[in-house]
Structure 1
Amino acid sequence: MYSIRVLAIECIRLAPEYLPFEEGWRMQQELHKKITESQTNKNRQASMIFCEHEPVYTAGARTRSWEMPQNEKVIRVGRGGKITWHGPGQLVGYPILSLGATPDVLRYVRQIEEGLINALQSVGINGFRIAGRSGVWVRNGVSDEKVAAIGVRVQKNVTLHGFALNCSNDLAPFEKIVPCGISDAGVTTISRILKRTITPKEILDSVFNSICSALEYINTCRGNV
């Protein structure tokens, strides 16, 4: 029998109130436990958290000590990738869902990229992938710049962590690190590309709907979220 897969959304603290990273991680863990326990049920649960974090650097499993910024708060996390920054003006999404008995993590990352690329198209930006590098990129003259970063973990077949889409955030914090360990490319924001301010709240609907489509889920929200 065909099963409809539903992805619920939880919007937590978009501007002007921001979510501490530690609180977001606690929420992920609670949802992960709930969804892990529901994997054997016919009606599998799935959720996506959206938020803007308080300013913080997070370091993935492959981050070396010398890559850490000096005199800054850094939180070690269990996702893939290296060091990045989160903060106001950046839309962070955490899809928490089961990938089934034989998880294809690479396919999952490609689906997230597809959803973000389609969301960018809705505001007139041509995003693309780069082979061997996760995330979504745009062309700026002769160079490539990252507009969305992805770092995930799969535990007990259920996903954790997710993506960060630069919307209207300050880029200065990235100057203190080598974002995601990539030294030959820069970072940018939607607002910088379009030369007008686009906030996380403004693109949230498009991102959620596009990622639902890419993951082959339907969403439980209608209209603005």
Structure 2
Amino acid sequence: MVETMTAPRDPFFPADQSIRASSAPVDVRAMGLVDYQKAWEIQAELAAKRATDEVGDTILLLEHPSTFTAGKRTQPEDMPDPSYPVPVVGVDRGGRITWHGEGQLVAYPIIKLAEPVDVVDYVRRLEEAIIEAVRKAGIDTAGRIDGRSGVWVPAATRAASPEASTRDRKVAALGIRITRGVTMHGLSLNCNNTLDHYSHIVACGIDDADVTTMTLELGRQVTPAEMEPLLVDALLRALAGELVVANHSFGSAPDPTKGLKKRS
């Protein structure tokens, strides 16, 4: 998750202009199943090198073993019972707690942003890329809820699988950090993962909506491997300004991070 941001101004860059500092091709790395802590270390190393131009822009694509990650605004009541057998990792991104696991496609863009750095525009471009990929796969109504980050399916849309929630449903989450103009962390897209672990936390600090998967919404198995090329293509085009951010909002809701102190 990111801490929800609104844009009372136009983006710093025209919608059809790249937000990247470089025009060189992005190195896209498919890494398979990677321990969360190990992936975090890889990100940190790449980000430090990207800041000094030792490496170019990179997108890491992977899955994690089952892990809860607690962002800087996570509250005690969000957390799982200490006896629950899934590790909790405190992380240096915005937002509150979420879950990662197999069947969920995770993308970590390590991108040096053009100056002046526009965090809001970067987040909106990531969301636009996810919306594009999800809609191409068949969820035509996927969009945004103003006041909340990520990509959502509206309650008005009936999921193909009867076990899916009938409330607004989050299909993809965002959580970022930008240091020295370089992005870290990124997004997670629920493909065919279990949702069981979400019931042990207050996911993203939101208790008036639910989470879903591509598989539940479409009524067929949708794997990370299927979504990977769609997501990568959309991410590259969104960062380049070829996929222009559009208004896909279908509702609004309270910001789950507003007024909360950062965890110590």
The TM-score normalised by the length of structure 2 is 0.76
AA partner of residue 64 (structure 1):
Q
**Alignment-derived partner of residue 119 in structure 2:** 105
Is 1:50 matched with 2:69?
no
Partners of 1:154 and 1:97 in 2: CA distance = 9
Is 1:177 matched with 2:177?
no
Choose which of 226, 232, 235 in structure 2 pairs with 1:211. Answer: 235
Choose which of 194, 200, 205 in structure 1 pairs with 2:224. Answer: 200
Partners of 1:52 and 1:143 in 2: CA distance = 27
User: Would the aligned equivalents of 1:145 and 1:187 in 2 still touch at CA under 8 Å?
Assistant: yes
Cα-to-partner distance string for 1:43-79 (whole Å, 9 max, x where unaligned): x720000101010000000002232101241000000
Partners of 2:218 and 2:115 in 1: CA distance = 42
AA partner of residue 9 (structure 1):
V
Is 1:7 matched with 2:7?
no
AA partner of residue 53 (structure 2):
S
- After TM superposition, list the pairs within 5 Å mapping 1:51-130 onto structure 2: 51-70=62-81, 71-72=83-84, 73-126=87-140, 127-130=142-145
Cα-to-partner distance string for 1:62-104 (whole Å, 9 max, x where unaligned): 0022321012410000001100000000000000001123211
Partners of 1:119 and 1:5 in 2: CA distance = 23
**Structure 1 residue ranges without an equivalent (≥5):** 219-225
Query: Secondary structure of 2:154's match?
Result: strand
User: Would the aligned equivalents of 1:52 and 1:90 in 2 still touch at CA under 8 Å?
Assistant: yes
Partners of 2:118 and 2:95 in 1: CA distance = 17
AA partner of residue 207 (structure 2):
S
AA partner of residue 67 (structure 1):
D
Query: Secondary structure of 1:160's match?
Result: strand
**Alignment-derived partner of residue 149 in structure 2:** 134
User: Would the aligned equivalents of 1:5 and 1:216 in 2 still touch at CA under 8 Å?
Assistant: no
Report sequence identity in percent. 41
Aligned length: 209
User: Would the aligned equivalents of 2:50 and 2:111 in 1 still touch at CA under 8 Å?
Assistant: yes
Partners of 1:140 and 1:65 in 2: CA distance = 29
AA partner of residue 19 (structure 1):
V
Report the alpha carbon displacement of residue 217 of structure 1 after superposing the two structures with TM: 7.4
AA partner of residue 43 (structure 2):
Q
Query: Secondary structure of 1:122's match?
Result: helix
**Alignment-derived partner of residue 222 in structure 1:** none
Query: Secondary structure of 1:27's match?
Result: helix
User: Would the aligned equivalents of 1:7 and 1:217 in 2 still touch at CA under 8 Å?
Assistant: no
**Structure 2 residue ranges without an equivalent (≥5):** 1-17, 157-165, 243-264
Cα-to-partner distance string for 1:92-145 (whole Å, 9 max, x where unaligned): 000000112321111101000000000011111121011110000002346310
AA partner of residue 56 (structure 1):
T
Cα-to-partner distance string for 1:17-51 (whole Å, 9 max, x where unaligned): x2110010011011101111118xxxx72000010
Is 1:156 matched with 2:175?
no
User: Would the aligned equivalents of 1:6 and 1:217 in 2 still touch at CA under 8 Å?
Assistant: no
User: Would the aligned equivalents of 2:79 and 2:202 in 1 still touch at CA under 8 Å?
Assistant: no
RMSD: 1.8
